[in-house]
Amino acid sequence: MLGQSYVPETCEACHAMAELREVEEADGLPPYRVCAACAARLTEHVLRPLEWFRLAALHGWSRYHLHDDFYDELGRSIDPVDDAELHPFPALADCAASLPLAVDVAYALWHLPRALVPLFAAQPAATLELLEQTTAQRPHPDIRASADEIAAVALGPVAEEWIRRECAGDNDALLFPLAQAAAACLPRDEALAYVRQALAAPGTNVAERIGCLAWFHDEAALDLIEQHACAPISETWGRTAAASGITWDRARRWMEAGRPLSTVALDALHACVRYDSPLLAELAPRLLDPPDVATLRAVLTEQMDRDPVPRVKKLAARLIEDAEALVVGVPDFPLGERRSDEWPQAETPRDETE
């Protein structure tokens, strides 16, 4: 308005000093504070990669205006963007020179690049301080989950007190990443007790949350699966059992016990030889103390006779085909897309005709 003064502030996207506008979303989280030009690009989903990165690092990449319906992991819009090549996503060399930038990149990307882990591990105290500061200021679950993963893979016990406080807080929606951090940062019994208490909380859908036990690679997790398994059984139960180190003796006992544990056992054996989820590809579980091939095939054949429903017959038949791979411990199925150890190539422009 004419005659009204304002104090220029830094646009969160382009970092220019300007009069800012607040762009809100329906999620109730803090608004974007951006200049007029960036506000237009934000709402039209044509941000430049560097602008997208800065907003994703502050607000979380999965918010509507930054979502992967409109951008790829490096902030490249599905629509044409003016001067996008002049404002690229940060490169690894930039992160190596700036720990705060490295943390922001970890927050903005869909998955934590393994190339960043040595940077965080080399400066554990400084990294922990940044994680505590930034998560206190940026409430989006994407950012909190990324911080928990950094603590798990790069800091370990250095982050023990912080993760203990996080577990004690009102962080119910973050159980999966917090379980990963707890498994790596807290004493094992304390971490398992935290997950056990979360699974036992009133109103908890255990079937949706049982996967958090996969981070522990612990027989105690298998005991919890026995305690909580209930129909309908999704593949998550079996995948979690495989990641927890299921033995042949336990798998056979579960098959003999009948449903729902017999279904979990078959899914677990399948998960030990065919890595059909990113987490399985990451953990690469194996069947422990396997029998000989003939015994394995005989028991699976008995299971098909004992429970001749289509799901059991189909899965058992496939496992009979995979018996040698199960016993030897070599997956018969390609590992698929592991989390890349390579840095995303932000310098390569995307072909808009793809």
The reported pLDDT for the residue numbered 7 is 62
Answer yes or no: is pLDDT of 347 > 90: no
Give 69-98 as a DSSP string: TTB-TT--BSS--TTGGGSPPPPHHHHHT-
Same domain, 277 and 176: no
Q: pLDDT higher for 281 or 11? A: 11
Containing structural domain, residue 57: 7-89
Same domain, 119 and 84: no
pLDDT in tens, 24-76: 999 999 999 999 999 999 999 999 999 999 999 999 999 999 999 999 999 99
Q: Do 210 and 188 form a contact (C-beta atoms < 8 A)?
A: no
Confidence band for 2, pLDDT divided at 50, 70 and 90: very low
pLDDT in tens, 15-34: 999 999 999 999 999 999 99
Same domain, 32 and 125: no
In a domain, 322, yes or no: yes
Same domain, 83 and 100: no
Same domain, 223 and 305: yes
In a domain, 341, yes or no: no
In a domain, 200, yes or no: no
Answer yes or no: is pLDDT of 335 > 70: no
Same domain, 220 and 301: yes
Same domain, 169 and 255: no
Confidence band for 336, pLDDT divided at 50, 70 and 90: very low
What DSSP state is assigned to residue 288?
B
pLDDT in tens, 254-275: 999 999 999 999 999 999 998 8
The reported pLDDT for the residue numbered 232 is 86
User: What HEC string does 1-50 produce?
Assistant: CCCCCCCCEECCCCCCEECCEEECCCCCCCCEEECHHHHHHHHHCCCCHH
Confidence band for 6, pLDDT divided at 50, 70 and 90: low
pLDDT in tens, 132-165: 999 999 999 999 999 999 999 999 999 999 999 9
Question: Final residue of a domain: which of 66, 89, 112?
Answer: 89
In a domain, 278, yes or no: yes
Answer yes or no: is pLDDT of 338 > 80: no
What DSSP state is assigned to residue 233?
P
Number of domains the chain contains: 3
Answer yes or no: is pLDDT of 288 > 50: yes
Same domain, 43 and 67: yes
In a domain, 192, yes or no: no
Within 8 A by CB and 6+ apart from 229, the residues are 237, 260, 261, 264
Give the mean pLDDT of the chain: 90
Confidence band for 171, pLDDT divided at 50, 70 and 90: confident
Rounded to an integer, the average pLDDT of 283-309 is: 96
Confidence band for 278, pLDDT divided at 50, 70 and 90: confident
Same domain, 140 and 217: no
Give me 287's structure tokens. 């069947």
In a domain, 234, yes or no: yes
The reported pLDDT for the residue numbered 47 is 98
Same domain, 64 and 107: no
Give me 237's structure tokens. 């139960």
Q: Do 340 and 114 form a contact (C-beta atoms < 8 A)?
A: yes
Same domain, 95 and 49: no
Answer yes or no: is pLDDT of 351 > 50: no
Confidence band for 337, pLDDT divided at 50, 70 and 90: very low
Same domain, 83 and 174: no
In a domain, 344, yes or no: no
The reported pLDDT for the residue numbered 283 is 86
Question: Final residue of a domain: which of 35, 63, 89?
Answer: 89
Residue 94 CB neighbours (<10 A): 13
pLDDT in tens, 98-133: 999 999 999 999 989 989 999 999 999 999 999 999
Closest by CA position to 107, among listed 159, 146, 139, 133 = 146
Answer yes or no: is pLDDT of 218 > 70: yes
In a domain, 337, yes or no: no
Question: Final residue of a domain: which of 69, 89, 109?
Answer: 89
Q: Please give the sequence-ordered ranges of beta strands (E in DSSP) within 247-292, or none if there are none.
A: none
pLDDT in tens, 183-196: 999 999 999 999 99
